[in-house]
Chain A
Amino acid sequence: MVLVTIAFFAYATEVAFSMKNNDDNDKTDFDFTRTTKSGRIGSIMMLLALFFLFGGVLFRGLSAQRVPWGNMYEFSITGAFAVTGAYIFGVIRYRLRWLGLPISFAVLLTLGTAVTVLYRPSAPLVPALKSTWLAIHVSAAIVSGGVFLLANAVAGTYLILDNIEKKGPRPTWALRLPTLEALDQLSYRLVAFVFPLWTFAVIAGAIWAESAWGRYWGWDPKETWAFITWVAYAAYLHARVTIGWRGRRAAWLCLFAGSTFLFNYVYVNIWGTGRHTYSGL
């Protein structure tokens, strides 16, 4: 119980830090000389948030004495961790700092709902979830989800900037953002990087379903939507690589594919009827 409380405080601190990060990045609107500094502070805050989130997930796991992926509260905090991790990775590898504003907002939103609406005290798992595949299947799905959402943020930025550029030159706040081609290429790379992992997550789920439910595929709503997401991203990759879609069309398809994932997470978990609903969220 103490551990849960500590974890809880960790989130609160973390949320405050993310907020600060938000504000800092907002200053980009007004002042360029100050942004570099505040942007850097934002990144450091996000890095701190990453550690706190990791602590939160870890303590949750310790307090429940199992992998902390048994209900939606736990998925959400782990998802927030995954998105933040993907963002930090992006900052280091692809200079993605400009994405800080939408990403920290998304993380904040996720954590907000997790702490207020979805919170459940830690409890042991129901028998069907007791399997090594829980760790494998869920972690693969969560990481995939984190990167899908990152790709969505990039594709969304592409569409907004594209609209702005159609009307005229970029306003000052957008000058430091990458070129349209770079955004386009980046969202493709993210998807291409994580598509095999998503495929693996679905397969791991199928293997687990075979041992828990007696069939590897049964068109359970969750399975169906995972399949739809898979098909949508497969279509996206084909459209880019084979037909040569670029720009707006590709970005819309990417957004569509990402939204099927979100729909699966939100709709099927809360209002769905399938076998993926456990223990009241």
Chain B
Amino acid sequence: MSDIPELSSVGVLRWIWRQLTSMRVALILLLLLGVAAIPGSIFPQRTQNPMKVQEFFTQNPGLAKWMDAIKLFDVYSSPWFSAIYLLLFISLVGCVLPRTFSHLKAVGAQPPLTPKFLDRMEFYATVNGNPAVALDKSEKWLKKNRFRIRREENSISAEKGYLRETGNLLFHLSLLLILVAVGVGSLFGSKGEAILNVGERFINTPTSYDTLSFGKFQSEGSLIPFSLKVTDFVATYDPATNAPTDYKLTVSASNPIGSKEETKIIKVNSPLTYASTKIYLQANGYSPVVAIHDKSGKLVFEGPVAFLPQDANLTSLGAIKVPDMSPQIGFVATFVPTAARDSKRGAFSAYPEALDPRLLVSVWAGNLGLDSGIPQSVYRIDTSKMTRIGLKSLGLNQTYNFGEGTITFEGVKSWVNLQIVDDPGKMYALLGAILAVLGLLISLFTRQRRIWIKIGDTVEIAGLAKNGMTGLKEEIDQLSKELKG
């Protein structure tokens, strides 16, 4: 250890490299990776649940700020998490690549020479056979059992089970392939969402999306030019538990745009696929259809407005904004597909299907704040600069006159949230995963062992099993029997 200060910088680098590729460090990194993954399952993550993160910020502003600084809300893209797995994979490369080369060499090579003293081996036996024919007999038996054989004048050295290392290397190299595939997916992929009412059309261009994010090396021109129209959406529920049993979305789609339209069914477990792009049915809800007239009777708004479901029975909240009236009018509204009422909750939904739909509106007049430049949620209204001028529960086709105009509840449509994902790395990840399992099976269930036969005054047999796998004793017994007979 005293020579450490004299090491050159190359020496230091070599020392670091040797440490990094040592099994002990790899093991520590592996366990560290497991530990580092834990906080992401405890604290809300931006990638999964940005709303929850926001909530956390409003509840504990001081703590959240500090936690955000060390990336506890983005654990899996944080520098420290990335550092661990990158170091681990460097360590893996440093360990596996040299082993791959030496294994490739070993595949062509003969088994090692027979050691001098066989009686030191794990399994050892002397056989009362005829030494003159013992080697020939052994060679025949070993060949039959597909051992790799090296015959010398007085001995045979045989080995079997090279596949173990092959499987081991295949497994680790496959893990590298998976990591590369994940990287490809995040650099060259895209992911977006769009809410569509039944009857609406979607064209796959960036402006059609509600949210859309691209990988670093992906641009807007790379979106597949398809279009689809939502023709029907059916949700069925179990009457006993109110739980959904099936969602079926029917679209008529054309790819590329302008080609013949085809009818396609999209379900939760069967997305619509165009090359590496997939279109998933992610969520659904109700859009009440309303018509709003002003005092003079002029139609100022008509159409479906998507509401956000709040519970399993699809009680939904939403906002209808009419900036073109003077004063501006906003409706803060609750939609219940099957109306029910009790003293505790007030109006609520008793069943997720639209059996007895009602729209509860509270009408606000004033400034909607749409010109402030701050992006607003379409489901909420900032009522700080408004006053409430009315409150009403509307049944189907009922109209409410709130003084500044009228609102008519004309009907209900379903909306669906489509998630459109392009992940070109996916197939490689799958390939890597399949190869990894294959490699794992080969390496864990292949027995690697050596057998030696030596002739002198007697016939000696010895064997060595790698990693203490069982079964070698039986093989040696069998071979001894062969030599006796």
B is a partner of A: yes
In the bound complex, how far is the Cα of B171 from the Cα of A234, in angstroms?
A: 12
Chain A positions within 8 Å of B468 at CB level:
185
**A130 near B268 (CB under 8 angstroms)?**
yes
Within the complex, the shortest CB–CB distance from A163 to chain B, in Å, comes to 25
**A228 near B38 (CB under 8 angstroms)?**
yes
Query: Does A210 have its Cβ within 8 Å of any Cβ on chain B?
Result: yes
**A127 near B76 (CB under 8 angstroms)?**
no
Categorize the interface residue count of chain A: 35 or more
Query: Does B13 have its Cβ within 8 Å of any Cβ on chain A?
Result: no
Query: Does A55 have its Cβ within 8 Å of any Cβ on chain B?
Result: no
Surface stretch bound by B, among A20-28, A101-109, A164-172, A236-244? A236-244
**B419 near A214 (CB under 8 angstroms)?**
yes
**B437 near A124 (CB under 8 angstroms)?**
no
Chain A positions within 8 Å of B41 at CB level:
219, 221, 224-225, 268, 272, 274
A128/B269 contact (C-beta < 8 A), A123-B240, A196-B437, A203-B433 known = yes
Which A residues from 187 to 225 make CB contacts under 8 A with B? 192-193, 195-196, 199-200, 203, 206-208, 210-221, 224-225
A206/B48 contact (C-beta < 8 A), A196-B444, A214-B280 known = no
Query: Does B384 have its Cβ within 8 Å of any Cβ on chain A?
Result: no
Query: Does A270 have its Cβ within 8 Å of any Cβ on chain B?
Result: no
Chain A positions within 8 Å of B271 at CB level:
211, 214
Query: Does B270 have its Cβ within 8 Å of any Cβ on chain A?
Result: yes
Chain B positions within 8 Å of A231 at CB level:
30-31, 33-34, 37
**B246 near A130 (CB under 8 angstroms)?**
yes
Chain A interface secondary structure, helix, strand, loop or mixed? helix
Chain B positions within 8 Å of A260 at CB level:
34
In the bound complex, how far is the Cα of B251 from the Cα of A208, in angstroms?
A: 23
**B441 near A196 (CB under 8 angstroms)?**
yes
Residue of B nearest to A191 (CB): B444
Query: Does B264 have its Cβ within 8 Å of any Cβ on chain A?
Result: no
**A219 near B40 (CB under 8 angstroms)?**
yes
**A279 near B38 (CB under 8 angstroms)?**
no
Which B residues from 408 to 455 make CB contacts under 8 A with A? 419, 421, 423, 426, 429-430, 433-434, 436-437, 440-441, 444
In the bound complex, how far is the Cα of B191 from the Cα of A214, in angstroms?
A: 9
Surface stretch bound by A, among B21-29, B208-216, B302-310, B314-322? B21-29
Binary A-proximity of B4-34 (CB < 8 A = 1, otherwise 0): 0000000000000000000110110011011
Within the complex, the shortest CB–CB distance from A213 to chain B, in Å, comes to 7
**B270 near A211 (CB under 8 angstroms)?**
yes
**B24 near A243 (CB under 8 angstroms)?**
yes
A127/B244 contact (C-beta < 8 A), A224-B41, A225-B41, A231-B30 known = yes
Query: Does A125 have its Cβ within 8 Å of any Cβ on chain B?
Result: yes
Within the complex, the shortest CB–CB distance from B466 to chain A, in Å, comes to 10
**B440 near A199 (CB under 8 angstroms)?**
yes
- Our count of residue pairs bridging A and B at CB distance below 8 angstroms stands at 119
A126/B243 contact (C-beta < 8 A), A131-B269, A214-B421, A231-B31 known = yes
In the bound complex, how far is the Cα of B241 from the Cα of A123, in angstroms?
A: 8
In the bound complex, how far is the Cα of B132 from the Cα of A82, in angstroms?
A: 55
In the bound complex, how far is the Cα of B45 from the Cα of A185, in angstroms?
A: 41
**B269 near A130 (CB under 8 angstroms)?**
yes
**B33 near A195 (CB under 8 angstroms)?**
no
Binary A-proximity of B68-100 (CB < 8 A = 1, otherwise 0): 000000011000000000000000000000000
In the bound complex, how far is the Cα of B270 from the Cα of A127, in angstroms?
A: 11
Within the complex, the shortest CB–CB distance from B394 to chain A, in Å, comes to 31
**A199 near B436 (CB under 8 angstroms)?**
yes
Query: Does A142 have its Cβ within 8 Å of any Cβ on chain B?
Result: no
Within the complex, the shortest CB–CB distance from B353 to chain A, in Å, comes to 15
Which A residues from 121 to 160 make CB contacts under 8 A with B? 123-128, 130-131, 133
Binary A-proximity of B321-350 (CB < 8 A = 1, otherwise 0): 000000000000000000000000000000
Within the complex, the shortest CB–CB distance from B424 to chain A, in Å, comes to 13
Chain B positions within 8 Å of A235 at CB level:
27, 30-31, 34
**B268 near A219 (CB under 8 angstroms)?**
no
Out of B40, B45, B245, B440, name the residue touching A126 (CB < 8 Å): B245
A219/B48 contact (C-beta < 8 A), A234-B30, A279-B243 known = yes
Query: Does A232 have its Cβ within 8 Å of any Cβ on chain B?
Result: yes
A128/B268 contact (C-beta < 8 A), A196-B437, A235-B31, A243-B24 known = yes
**A203 near B48 (CB under 8 angstroms)?**
no
Within the complex, the shortest CB–CB distance from B236 to chain A, in Å, comes to 9
A195/B440 contact (C-beta < 8 A), A127-B269, A216-B429, A219-B48 known = yes
**A232 near B34 (CB under 8 angstroms)?**
yes
3 shortest A-B CB distances, which residue pairs? A231-B34, A221-B41, A224-B41
12 CB < 8 A contacts A-B: A128-B269, A131-B269, A196-B440, A200-B437, A214-B419, A219-B40, A224-B40, A225-B41, A231-B33, A268-B41, A273-B49, A279-B243
